[in-house]
């Protein structure tokens, strides 16, 4: 019997060391970008004294639109609204008089921008809110100003200072106002006051009717949107009851939690997914040196490397995005998917209502720019559609993969579900750049979607709920402010 061949030590070669998935240098650089990105956008929450007006392109126009639409709607609601509508409006908007609050916002605007028109609108707000002494002080200050405020001085004097003008002089001023100012709550209110003082009942009725006509159109839109939200709440309540009544859990997919990747690899993926798109966006702005009008398109293009990195990493580890994140529902997972989605949308809506009511009760003021989507008001229709697509579809996909799929999943490699959900929700909240009330809403949503991922083993319920909430917010803004 022959002996087996002898293997010499020199013939044996050790297997090569495992290749590192990510460069340490790139990971460190991406971490720095992420820290700067989160820190800069989180400043309104960390340093609430900073004015956010500098972030807006058209602060004066945007503030005027917000105030006039709210006051038109308020007038229509008081005139022809249902009692429960007024109570709901008061509960959600807080106890502070909107005229007083708007005058405060205008005072902040005037600290940064010299605008005679904004000064006129602030005087009208002060006078209409009963702060006549402050209004008269502003009017007296105008007497020392130049020609830019001369006509406005005559208007507000006729409307709010004694003695009232003669009927002929008052009608002349009314014609001036109608020629100089576009129809709005401010111009109609000024005309109404002068018409009242000179005893011109038809002119007064015409001005009041103009406010009510605009307000009633807004009230119809608000009712339709409220009915939509109420319908979603009912569907969510039914879905929640159905899921609680089921014996089996609401599992949608089969995503492994904790995931199969290591904490180090998950961290490297997360900082690349969050940091590189921001670096690309900044680089594009520096190279172009101007606003192109395609910010959303460039932002979406900058997000594309996220999918490439995640796909490539999972592929080299014998997995896929559908498997790792539960993006393919199980055979009986479609019904739980629908139920979980409706339940999440409803819970988020209830959470927002509770936060609004609590903030009013606790006297936590919400700045008007908090979450204000200026592009939806002033951009061309095509850009508005692009912004709506970005906010309602693209952003939910990217954010759910980044913050729930990668960040929450990576935290789960070391921590429990509750702690991971809270930490991921906090990190998710900071880059949104909101103040206290807006941040509380984002925090609650982040918690909900992370826990839904854990419970259903799929990103789909949170992704669909995220998209639905963003779409609803976009529609509210366009319908009531554009």
| pLDDT score at 367 | 80
* Tens of each residue's pLDDT in the chain, 482 residues: 445 555 444 444 445 444 556 889 988 998 988 888 887 665 555 555 556 777 788 999 999 999 999 999 999 988 887 777 777 777 666 667 888 889 999 999 988 888 889 999 999 999 999 888 888 888 877 766 556 677 888 899 899 888 889 999 999 999 999 999 999 999 999 999 999 999 999 999 999 999 999 999 999 999 999 999 999 999 999 999 988 887 767 889 999 999 999 999 999 999 999 888 888 877 776 665 555 556 678 888 888 888 998 999 999 999 999 999 999 998 888 999 999 999 999 999 999 989 888 887 777 777 888 888 888 999 888 889 998 999 999 999 999 999 999 999 999 999 999 999 999 999 999 888 787 888 899 999 999 999 999 999 999 999 999 999 999 999 999 999 98
d(CA 386, CA 295): 10
| Core vs surface per residue 383-398: b (16+ CB within 10 A) or e | bbebbbbbbbbbbbbb
Give the residue carrying structure tokens 């803004």: 477
Burial class (CB in 10 A: 0-12, 13-18, 19+), 286: exposed
Give the residue carrying structure tokens 């602060």: 59
DSSP per residue over 105-171, as a string? HHHHHHHH---HHHHHHHHHHHHHTT-HHHHHHHHHHHTTS-GGGHHHHHHHHHHHSSSPPPHHHHH
d(CA 398, CA 385): 18
Instruction: Count other Cβ atoms within 10 Å, centred on residue 55.
Output: 13
| pLDDT score at 405 | 95
DSSP per residue over 53-68, as a string? GGG-SSHHHHHHHHHH
d(CA 246, CA 318): 34
pTM over 0.85: yes
| pLDDT score at 143 | 67
Q: Where are the domains of the chain?
A: 54-218, 246-270+326-481
**Long-range contacts of range 479-482, CB-CB < 8 Å, 24 or more positions apart?**
479/221, 479/222, 479/224, 479/225, 480/69, 480/73, 480/218, 480/221, 480/222, 480/225, 481/65, 481/66, 481/69, 481/376, 481/377, 482/376, 482/377, 482/384
| pLDDT score at 8 | 44
**Nearest Cα to Cα of residue 451 among 479, 416, 402:** 416
| pLDDT score at 365 | 75
Helices 201-245 and 59-80, axial angle in degrees (round to 10): 90
| pLDDT score at 264 | 92
| pLDDT score at 364 | 77
Kindly state the helix (H) or strand (E) to which residue 427 belongs, with its residue range: helix 417-429
| pLDDT score at 9 | 44
| pLDDT score at 436 | 82
């Amino acid at each position: 019997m022959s002996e087996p061949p002898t293997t010499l030590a020199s013939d044996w070669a050790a297997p090569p060391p495992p290749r590192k998935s990510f460069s340490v240098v790139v990971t460190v650089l991406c971490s720095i970008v992420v820290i700067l990105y989160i820190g800069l956008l989180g400043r309104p929450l960390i340093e609430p004294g900073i004015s956010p007006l500098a972030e807006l392109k058209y602060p004066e126009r945007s503030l005027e639109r917000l105030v006039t639409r709210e006051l038109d709607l308020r007038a229509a609601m008081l005139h022809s609204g249902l009692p429960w509508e007024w109570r709901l409006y008061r509960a959600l908007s807080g106890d502070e008089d909107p005229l007083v609050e708007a005058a405060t916002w205008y005072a902040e605007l005037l600290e940064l921008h010299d605008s005679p028109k904004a000064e006129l609108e602030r005087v009208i707000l002060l006078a209409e809110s009963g702060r006549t002494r402050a209004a008269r002080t502003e009017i007296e200050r105008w007497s020392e100003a130049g020609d830019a405020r001369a006509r406005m001085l005559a208007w507000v004097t006729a409307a709010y200072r004694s003695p009232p003008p003669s009927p002929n002089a008052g009608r002349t001023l009314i014609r001036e106002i109608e020629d100089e100012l576009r129809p709005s709550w401010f111009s109609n209110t000024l005309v109404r006051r002068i018409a009242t003082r000179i005893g011109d009942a038809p002119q007064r009725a015409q001005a009041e009717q103009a406010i009510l006509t605009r307000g009633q159109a807004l009230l119809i839109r608000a009712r339709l949107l409220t009915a939509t939200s109420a319908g979603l709440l009912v569907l969510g309540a039914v879905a929640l009851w159905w899921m609680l009544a089921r014996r089996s859990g609401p599992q949608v997919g089969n995503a492994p939690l904790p995931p199969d990747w290591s904490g180090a690899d998950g961290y490297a993926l997360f900082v690349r997914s969050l940091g590189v798109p921001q670096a690309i966006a900044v680089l594009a702005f520096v190279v172009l040196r101007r606003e192109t009008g395609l910010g959303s398109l460039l932002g979406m293009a900058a997000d594309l490397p996220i999918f490439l990195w995640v796909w490539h990493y999972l592929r080299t580890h014998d997995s896929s995005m559908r498997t790792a994140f539960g993006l393919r529902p199980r055979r009986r997972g479609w019904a739980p998917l629908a139920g979980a989605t409706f339940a999440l949308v409803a819970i988020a809506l209830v959470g927002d209502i509770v936060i609004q009511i609590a903030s009013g009760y606790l006297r936590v003021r919400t700045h008007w720019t908090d979450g204000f989507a200026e592009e939806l008001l002033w951009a061309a229709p095509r850009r508005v559609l692009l912004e709506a697509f970005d906010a309602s579809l693209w952003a939910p996909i990217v954010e759910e993969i980044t913050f729930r799929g990668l960040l929450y999943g990576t935290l789960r490699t070391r921590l429990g579900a509750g702690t991971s959900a809270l930490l991921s929700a906090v990190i998710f909240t900071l880059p949104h750049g909101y103040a206290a009330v807006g941040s509380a809403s984002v925090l609650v949503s982040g918690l909900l979607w992370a826990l839904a991922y854990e419970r259903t083993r799929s990103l789909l319920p949170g992704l669909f709920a995220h998209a639905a909430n963003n779409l609803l917010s976009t529609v509210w803004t366009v319908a009531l402010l554009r």
